[in-house]
Amino acid sequence: MRLWHVVLRGLALVGILGAGACVPLSMAPSPVPLAGAHQHEFGVQNDVVFPLQEAGAQFWYRRDRGDDSEVFFQGGTLLGYGIFPYLGAGYRRYWVTPDSDDVAGFRDSMSLGWEFSGGAFAWFQMGLPMSARLGRSPIWLTSNPTVGLNNFGFLHLPVGTSLRVSDGVRINAVLGGWFFRELSFREYRLYSSAGVSFPW
C-alpha cells in the first residue's frame, strides 16, 4: 500500500473520531487530594444529562508527584444521539492541602488548587479544584469550576461530595452544569454523576 493511501486513511479515521469526539462531562478525578501513603488512585463513574438525553461512563487514574501536585489521565464515552468517546490528561497543583499539623484545625480540613487538562481533538480547560471536610466526618464537599474550549460550554460549575468508606474506597457524587455553549446564555446542560474510586 502506498504511503499516501495510509495517510489518507489515517486522516479519514481522525475525521470520523473527531466528529464524534467529546470531553469529560463531570469533574474527575475528585478534588480531594491523595492522603497519607496513597500515591495512586483509579476511579470509574457514570454520567447522566438532564433531561435524559445522554448517559455514559468515564474512568480515570491519578498519581501523586510528591510536591503537592498530581497528574491524571481520563477517558470514557457518552451515548445519546451517537457514540462520543474522549481521552485526555491533566496536571493539578494544590496551593492549600490538608495539614494535620495545623493546631487550629482549619487547614487540615480543606484544599484549594489549580489544574489544566486537555485531550484529543483539541479540547482544554482550566479549573480551581477545591474541597472542604465536614468537621471530623469522612465526608468532603467538592467543586472544580472550570473555563475552557469544548463542545459542552465555556463555563462548568460542579458541586459534589466524596465519602471515604474505608482506607482504600471512596464514593463520589456530583451535580453540575455547563453554560455558555457557543457563547449563548440560553445554551446549558445539567448533569449528575456517581462513582467509586480506589486509592492506594
The residue among 107 and 40 whose pLDDT is bigger is: 40
* Within a domain: 11: no
| Number of C-beta neighbours around residue 105 at 10 A | 11
Give the CATH number of the domain where residue 189 resides. Answer: 2.40.128
* Within a domain: 35: yes
Instruction: State the total domains in the chain.
Output: 1
* Within a domain: 136: yes
Q: Is the dihedral of CA 98, 102, 105, 107 positive or negative?
A: negative
* Within a domain: 131: yes
Whole-number Cα distances in Å, 146 to 43, 66, 150, 158, 182: 20, 24, 11, 9, 16
* Within a domain: 9: no
Q: Using CA atoms, how far apart are residues 187 and 96, in angstroms rounded to an integer?
A: 34
pLDDT tens for each residue of 161-171: 999 999 999 99
* Within a domain: 17: no
* Within a domain: 168: yes
Q: What is the pLDDT of residue 1?
A: 55
Q: What is the pLDDT of residue 7?
A: 46
Q: pLDDT exceeding 70 applies to what percent of the chain? A: 82
* Within a domain: 10: no
pLDDT tier, 184 (very low <50, low <70, confident <90, very high otherwise): confident
Provide the domain limits for residue 69.
22-199
| Residue 106 reports pLDDT greater than 70 | no
Least confident of 97-101, 120-124, 179-183, 188-192: 97-101
Could you give phi then psi for residue 67, rounded to 5 degrees?
-130, 45
Least confident of 15-24, 54-63, 120-129, 187-196: 15-24
Q: What is the pLDDT of residue 103?
A: 42
Q: Is the dihedral of CA 27, 32, 38, 44 positive or negative?
A: negative
pLDDT tens for each residue of 4-47: 454 445 434 444 444 444 677 888 899 999 987 899 999 999 99
